[in-house]
Amino acid sequence: MKKNLITVMVLALVLVNLVLTALLTITIVPQTKKANELITQVCSAINLELQSGSVTSDASAVPIDKLATYSIVDSMTINFKDGGDGVAHLVVLTAAISMNTEAEGYAEYGETLGERETLIKDTLNTVIGSYTYEEFKADTQGVRNTIVEELQKLFGSNFIVSVSFPTMTYQ
């Protein structure tokens, strides 16, 4: 008889546990959904703020017939900043600059960009040289964006919309 009584008590406790679990689920799930929506809204607001300071112009926003490119034919060898691993890393690349032909500054600088190739190479060397091998490898697009920002500062105009590396080897 004692064994039956213990079995009935265990069964009663299991049922009470089941009812309480259902009650908790019914009361907590809607609140969790609301919290998830709030978190999603906060995350989207943060993403907008993070992207608001990005490069002022983007090559994908410019129609292809309004783009002009200037290629730096000579390959450049640039040393990366020391990453602490004791190995000297470098990149060998060629660069191409895409320009918006309708932007302010293109008429003044765009046609004669070749005359300022030394300044462009210096900017490329300075920006890429400020990154370690690991940073460059992990975020090449971020490096390109930084180069565009620096070139826009150099020329005082946003006619330069992107920088690409047609050939690039790094080690």
CA dist 103 and 119 (Å) reads: 20
Say whether pLDDT at 51 is over 60.
no
Answer yes or no: do 148 and 73 share one domain.
yes
Answer yes or no: do 123 and 161 share one domain.
yes
CA dist 144 and 127 (Å) reads: 9
Answer yes or no: do 38 and 93 share one domain.
no
Residue 80 has a pLDDT of: 86
> What is the mean predicted confidence (pLDDT) over 46-54?
50
CATH (domain of 96) = 3.30.479.30
> What is the mean predicted confidence (pLDDT) over 115-131?
88
Tokens of 44: 């989207």
Residue 53 has a pLDDT of: 44
Mean pLDDT of all residues belonging to the chain:
83
Residue 56 has a pLDDT of: 44
- Give 137-146 pLDDT, tens digit per residue: 888 888 899 9
Number of domains in the chain: 2
Domain end among 53, 68, 95: 53
The whole domain housing 162 covers 59-170
Answer yes or no: do 42 and 103 share one domain.
no
Answer yes or no: do 45 and 120 share one domain.
no
Answer yes or no: do 109 and 157 share one domain.
yes
Complete DSSP assignment for 78-120:
EEPBP-SSS---EEEEEEEEEEETTSTTIIIIITTGGGGHHHH
- Give 64-116 pLDDT, tens digit per residue: 888 888 888 888 888 888 877 888 888 888 899 988 888 888 888 887 888 88
Beta bridge partners of 121: none
Answer yes or no: do 91 and 134 share one domain.
yes
Answer yes or no: do 10 and 63 share one domain.
no
Answer yes or no: do 99 and 151 share one domain.
yes
Residue 17 has a pLDDT of: 95
Q: Which of 7-16, 39-48, 74-83, 152-161 has the lowest mean pLDDT?
A: 39-48
Answer yes or no: do 68 and 112 share one domain.
yes
Looking at the chain, how many residues does it have?
Answer: 171
Residue 103 has a pLDDT of: 83
Confidence of residue 47 (pLDDT cuts 50, 70, 90): low
Confidence of residue 1 (pLDDT cuts 50, 70, 90): low
Answer yes or no: do 82 and 149 share one domain.
yes
Answer yes or no: do 28 and 65 share one domain.
no
